[in-house]
Structure 1
């Protein structure tokens, strides 16, 4: 069967497009360039990134053996990211994909010994808390071919503002990418995440917001439309609608792999409808888009913001998808925006 991996000449463009994403997540830009320059075909990507991740695990274990805990934590964090980026392709080798995702999750646990990890059939998460008494919580929602480990740097920004962060993977995402298909009723995943937060005494479960990325930006909006316990929502580069016949193979192959069939993939794409859910979002809602984020078949986030009763739209003129090449133009202010909306009444 012809797949994304069979598309000719993809490697240089794919490496260039993913470079801001990788650097913003925390990969060393020089090492990223070195690893991707050594590839001759897109099929080599997963193996090369796994190899880099395994090298960092070895470095971390060596540092641990010599009592260098800070160096070990740094190396485990790098390992988690490299292993995660081995999974950003719609790899038809599901066993290899699952092994890389599991190794990434294990490295993250070893990198963050003070964090708390959750593992349930339909939810995996990591809760990181600042040095504050009963802080509010932001639930961080990933998107397509992404996961909780990718947004550690964004979580760091919120932690510095005294906000706890629960980064999650739902079915078909991150650690759970091959364990179950995507959940089209994603409000169920967020509902469970908020339940977990409410049950705790060390965070304030009455003050919860969402920060949702890419496809997760729409899933987060869907969740906010159904979950009144969410105080505020930020969606970064969310789709407002998808035209299946115009989507690139990277997207359609991912949808098929993560939903289980071509029919389920088309149905999942059809459900993405800003006009249906945005009017139901009563919370303060900020949508962040990049003006240079032009993906065939994808309507960007402006309709979500325009149709929501309390929506606002922040367009970054030079921004790409996820606006990671212009993070300084939106992230500090947006983190402050979330913090304000999570303040005590």
Structure 2
């Protein structure tokens, strides 16, 4: 469910799919002009993955020829974004593209942020990044002294997708752990989605060695983050972006059903997973400050947007951007600073 809307259109005309992916992929950080060059000659949606994989490899070549670590790291980040973008349409090599995105991001951070640390455990992997001038936490982990936010991806997103969000949080003095969970990103090839994401978050918090965290969940990750905020006591603040309050399997468009089937391992598992995506009983248990962000143009059959979550959570606040699409890639100034401030104020009191 990141991106639910563009997933729905994957089986439609190529031009329509390219148009709907525009705000998502440029929001990932792909240069708009490069996006037009890559997608302008596509004959079908099936050409999407190979085109972005090829472009990512071109950035790897530029990184090898770069004249400085800064330039090399910049090209590696561009490669990671392109490789991740390659996974956003049905593509036989999606697992290889996800692995390439993971590798390119790691190489980029090694050059640009030597303090970044890979953290992996049962059902998760990701990068802990600390603000440049921020104090180190326990054992130099970049811990609770600065506040730590976990960024939770969605149905077909990954830790490589939300680098602008991570930058906004880092700029406010927060440490950021951008992760892939079960069935997500580089782990999609070896695991399936699980509804009990609070257990995954609990293991992440243990591995980070901090007493409390903030959570940001995007698209389906919004459900995961809200569920964890209700059930994991070490979550101190939360925010969701385009997260579903409830799913109705029978009303979901077939392409979206197909995506859930692939990510859960079968039709029966997909139906059972969708049945769990219902926050009606959990929302009143979210007692931490919660910001719920929705786009007014984000309307998908079978998906209930987040207003009931904000209304039912005791400390919930609802931000609806009328012109925003799914993930609000077309409206970042309307929500991203406010979301980053919400977490910074709650976690650090700044």
- Same fold at TM > 0.5: yes
Instruction: Find out whether 1:108 has 2:110 as its counterpart.
Output: no
- 1:202 matched residue in structure 2: none
Give the Cα–Cα distance (whole angstroms) in 1 for the partners of residues 331 and 161 of structure 2. Answer: 17
Give the Cα–Cα distance (whole angstroms) in 1 for the partners of residues 157 and 300 of structure 2. Answer: 17
Q: 1:132 to 1:291 in 2, by over 3 A?
A: same
Structure 1: 5+ residue stretches without partners: 199-204
**DSSP-derived class of the 2:156 partner:** coil
Instruction: Find out whether 1:248 has 2:245 as its counterpart.
Output: no
**Offset at 1:249?**
2.9
Give the Cα–Cα distance (whole angstroms) in 2 for the partners of residues 215 and 293 of structure 1. Answer: 13
Kept in 2, the 8 Å contact 1:80–1:149? The answer is yes
Kept in 2, the 8 Å contact 1:139–1:165? The answer is yes
Of the structure 1 ranges 8-17 and 259-268, higher mean CA displacement relative to structure 2 is found in 8-17
Kept in 2, the 8 Å contact 1:90–1:257? The answer is no
- 2:141 matched residue in structure 1: none
- 2:325 matched residue in structure 1: 320
Instruction: Find out whether 1:155 has 2:166 as its counterpart.
Output: yes
- 1:74 matched residue in structure 2: 74
After superposition, what is the alpha-carbon deviation per residue over 1:236-258, rounded to whole angstroms, capped at 9, x for unaligned?
00101112122123311110111
- 1:201 matched residue in structure 2: none
**Offset at 1:138?**
0.4
**DSSP-derived class of the 2:329 partner:** helix
- 2:39 matched residue in structure 1: 36
Aligned match of 1:300 in 286, 301, 305? 305
**Offset at 1:7?**
7.0
**DSSP-derived class of the 1:273 partner:** coil
Aligned match of 1:267 in 267, 272, 283? 272
Alignment of 1:1-345 (within 5 A): 9-63=12-66, 66=67, 68-91=68-91, 93=92, 96-113=93-110, 114=114, 115-130=116-131, 131-133=133-135, 134-198=145-209, 205-343=210-348
Under a length normalisation based on structure 1, what TM-score does the superposition of the two structures give? Answer: 0.92
Runs of 4+ in 1 over 6 A off after TM superposition: 4-7
Give the Cα–Cα distance (whole angstroms) in 2 for the partners of residues 138 and 161 of structure 1. Answer: 11
Give the Cα–Cα distance (whole angstroms) in 1 for the partners of residues 338 and 199 of structure 2. Answer: 29
Give the Cα–Cα distance (whole angstroms) in 1 for the partners of residues 260 and 156 of structure 2. Answer: 9
Q: 1:86 to 1:8 in 2, by over 3 A?
A: closer
- Give me the CA root mean square deviation: 1.7
Higher relative contact order (CA 8 A, sep 6+): 2
Kept in 1, the 8 Å contact 2:45–2:89? The answer is no
**Offset at 1:148?**
0.6
